[in-house]
Amino acid sequence: TEDDFNNLFICENLKRLRLAHNLTTTHVANVIKKSRQGYLNYENGSREIGIHDLIKLSQFYGVSIDHITGNPFSSRNKNTLAFRTY
């Protein structure tokens, strides 16, 4: 389903961001005040990440929530959409 695809995308992005910053799962878990296993559940898709943790991680990594979630309608992409009204 689309929700499963979105969750998989988020999981992959969380891992990609962590590895790009050479961080351990323990370090990132501490940032969002979760256990290591709790954070790993986000990365492996066992648990859906909540908005509060998304906000913490986006601030920590210096990226938008849209970057983490892969939202195609982020503010950066809004200018590329054209709607015609009659």
Whole-number pLDDT of residue 6: 75
Predicted confidence (pLDDT) per residue in 13-69, tens digit: 999 999 999 999 999 999 999 999 999 999 999 999 999 999 999 999 999 999 999
State pTM to two decimals.
0.76
Whole-number pLDDT of residue 77: 43
The structural domains of the chain, with segments of one domain joined by +, span 2-78
Residue 81 has pLDDT above 50, yes or no: no
> Which residue intervals of the chain are DSSP H helices?
2-20, 25-31, 36-43, 51-61, 65-69, 75-78
Q: Which CATH class is domain 2-78?
A: mainly alpha
| CA-based torsion, 18, 13, 34, 25: positive or negative | negative
Residue 5 has pLDDT above 70, yes or no: no
Mean pLDDT of 1-20: 83
Residues 6+ apart with CB under 8 A from 71: 65
Polymer length of the chain: 86
